[in-house]
Amino acid sequence: MEAYFLLPSKARTVSLVKNSALLRVCVYTDCLRLEPGSTISGHALIMEADCLKALMGIDTLSSIRGAFLLTMVDNANNNVQSGVLLALKGSEVVTIDVKASKGLLESGHIYLDVRTVEEYEKGHVNAENIFNIPYMFNTPEGRVKNPNFLKEVSAVCKEEDHIVVGCQSGVRSLYATADLLSAGFKDVSDMGGGYLAWKENVFPVKIEKEQKVEL
């Protein structure tokens, strides 16, 4: 079982203590990979509540095995930061940074943008082989998972295709990648940091619809 600690802070690198060994891990815009019960150097992770699937609006996500509210406590300064621990089931999700993703896309990998159509049209990764298939839709009640996501991906991609999945900041793509791997796709990677990280690195983008400026 894998676990990810969702943080509200921006990308940074921290030290993760695991089995008495100090490891370096990369925290993307919104997720840090952890093992359940791990601690971050100088902090303690405390489980505070039962499964929060309904509260988070992710109860329909088949890749989520459990979601728990955590508080990260700075033992030195008594600072508290809340987040959510997601326990994923299924195949191993490989998250790569945008530079590695760019190299894969230039070598012919498919880029699967799982953001909404509206987000996609405002700007997206400029890749030769690209598909926009939303993983979630925006509704008056909040975001809901696209019930036909796997079917729509299967209509344009084969299980043996090399795919890089991206979204706006790296959350939806993480879930989508887990679902695709569980569905039998062989080579699917999650682009950490998403489109925001891509733009921060000043990589080429394409805008489908120019936004109108009201005077």
Residue 31 annotated as catalytic: no
Share of the chain above pLDDT 90, in %: 42
Domain at 170, CATH number: 3.40.250.10
Q: Which helix (H) or strand (E) holds 149?
A: helix 149-156
- 82 and 114 part of one domain: no
Chain segment 116-153, per-residue pLDDT in tens? 999 999 999 999 999 999 999 988 888 899 999 999 99
Closest C-alpha to 165, from 94, 91, 84:
94
| Tokens of residue 26, six digits | 């990369």
Same domain, 80 and 110: no
**Domain contains 114:** yes
Domain boundary among 64, 88, 112: 88
> Are residues 7 and 31 in contact, defined by beta-carbon separation less than 8 angstroms?
yes
Question: Would the pLDDT of 103 be above 90?
Answer: yes
Among candidate residues 33, 60, 88, the one where a domain is terminated: 88
Task: Kindly state the average pLDDT of the residues 3-18.
Answer: 37
Parent domain of 82: 2-88
DSSP string, 14-77: EEEEETTEEEEEEE-SS-EEE-TT-EETTEEEEEEEEE-HHHHT-TT-TTEEEEEEEEEEETTT
Residues 107 and 191 in one domain: yes
Which range (73-77, 125-129, 131-135, 164-168) has the least confidence?
A: 73-77
pLDDT digits (tens, 9 = 90+) for 178-212: 889 889 999 999 998 899 999 999 999 999 865 55
pLDDT of the residue at 174:
85
Q: What is the mean pLDDT of the chain?
A: 69
- Write phi, then psi, for 148 (nearest 5 degrees): -105, 15
Residues 194 and 109 in one domain: yes
Indicate whether 212 belongs to any domain: no
Domain boundary among 30, 56, 88: 88
Question: Residue 126 domain-assigned?
Answer: yes
> What's the gap between Cα 188 and its chain centre?
13
In a domain, residue 102? The reply is: yes
Compare 20 and 154 and report the one with higher pLDDT. 154
Query: Residue 77 falls within a domain, yes or no?
Result: yes
Asked if residue 158 is part of any domain, the answer here is yes
Same domain, 99 and 199: yes
Same domain, 99 and 84: no
In a domain, 214, yes or no: no
Same domain, 177 and 200: yes
The whole-number pLDDT of residue 58 equals: 38
Count of domains in the chain?
2
Cβ atoms within 10 Å, residue 14 = 14
